[in-house]
Amino acid sequence: MTDTRKENEGTAVEAGSLATERFAQSGKLNKFEVPKERVSLLAGELIQAANDIAIKHEVTYEEYNALKAWLIKVGTDGEWPLFLDVWLEHTIEDINSKERPGTVGTIEGPYYVPNAPDMPTPATLEMREDEEGTPLLFHGNFTDTHGNPIQDAQVEIWHADAAGFYSQYAPGLPEWLFRGTVKADENGYFEINTMQPAPYQIPTDGACGQLIGAAGWHAWRPAHIHIKVSAPGYQLVTQQLYFPGDPHNEDDIASAVKPELMLEVKEREGGQGNQVEYNYVLAKENESK
């Protein structure tokens, strides 16, 4: 997997900046209303924390200017979504999901695209002819927190290919490769045919990669499948699912792995790849723990 990635490394930074473009297109750049008191509190404490670190470690002008240059580069490379989703979103997600009963969530990350093609169950995600990788059948069902089946549930799914690339964020991939909106049946059951994704290395040639290199860290996320599950009247869950045995389950650079999100992988009868079952429990709109 590392070899395939290397061939394309020159294009990696593009993925980061595309995430910025998409964030802008979604209208989110001007949309927020945070009360003055909160801005003052949060921005004030963030600035104070930076000053405290400078005092604690006696930051030099060399280091201060390196920071300035690097922050400028995060912007010009378009990597603010990547930076924030890798190093901060996990904490925001934890805080904001702790009162929601049912299936556990985790971060969305920078590569979600809304309105992926609708497909009824059993679904097969878009793939190229002779798509490489291990076929994966992913199935499960939806219930509410009392164990009753849920009507009109859907699974939005997106993941990397077997080389670690996301469609719409890497050149040359079909637009909706490994992206779909799968409608569960009237019993809340769904079935999705896809290919197992590869571990993901965040772009190494942009500002985030430069930081990782300068600090001597690694750039890897374990292989993962992104999911948003929802049904009318229920709270949306954004999550990812992971594969046991991946060496980066223990040291995900984005700190987004939770034990509840680990799949149990079984071989499919007939030797056709693997299958996994994951069942969703959704909380009603006003339901809390």
State how far the alpha carbon of 32 is from the alpha carbons of 35, 51, 96, 128, in Å: 10, 27, 17, 39
Nearer to ligand MBD, 155 or 254 (CB): 254
User: Rounded distance, CA 196 to CA 106, Å?
Assistant: 19
Token couple for 128: 């190229």
- Residue 135's nearest CA partner among 276, 272, 18, 278 is 272
Shortest distance (Å) from residue 256 CB to Fe ion: 9
Nearer to ligand MBD, 190 or 200 (CB): 200
Closest chain position to ligand MBD (CB) = 109
CA 256 to mean position of chain CA atoms: 8
Shortest distance (Å) from residue 278 CB to ligand MBD: 17
Closest chain position to Fe ion (CB) = 109
Q: Is 238 within 8 Å of 105 (Cβ atoms)?
A: yes
CA 150 to mean position of chain CA atoms: 25
209 is an interface residue for Fe ion by CB under 5 A: no
Nearer to ligand MBD, 142 or 200 (CB): 200
- Binding piece for Fe ion, criterion CB under 5 A, among 18-26, 39-47, 109-117, 178-186: 109-117
| Contact of residue 165 among ligand MBD, Fe ion, none (CB under 5-8 Å per partner type) | none
Segments in the chain forming alpha helices (H): 2-7, 12-25, 36-57, 61-76, 80-87, 89-97, 207-215
Query: DSSP 3-state assignment of 212?
Result: helix
- Binding piece for Fe ion, criterion CB under 5 A, among 78-86, 101-109, 255-263, 265-273: 101-109
Nearer to ligand MBD, 144 or 252 (CB): 252
109 is an interface residue for Fe ion by CB under 5 A: yes
Q: Which residues bind ligand MBD (CB under 6 A)?
A: 82, 85-86, 107, 109-111, 200, 202, 221, 254, 256
> Phi then psi for 141, rounded to 5 degrees?
-140, 170
124 half-sphere exposure, CB direction, 13 A CA radius: 4
In sequence order, what are the residues at sequence separation of 6 or more whose Cβ sits closer than 8 angstroms to the Cβ of residue 236?
228, 229, 230
Tell me how many residues contact Fe ion (CB under 5 A): 1
Nearer to Fe ion, 178 or 234 (CB): 178
Token couple for 140: 């499960």
Shortest distance (Å) from residue 169 CB to ligand MBD: 9
| Contact of residue 86 among Fe ion, ligand MBD, none (CB under 5-8 Å per partner type) | ligand MBD
Nearer to Fe ion, 188 or 206 (CB): 206
| Contact of residue 281 among ligand MBD, Fe ion, none (CB under 5-8 Å per partner type) | none
The CA-based angle 179-180-185, given to 5 degrees, is: 155
Shortest distance (Å) from residue 197 CB to ligand MBD: 9
Residues that bind Fe ion (CB under 5 A): 109
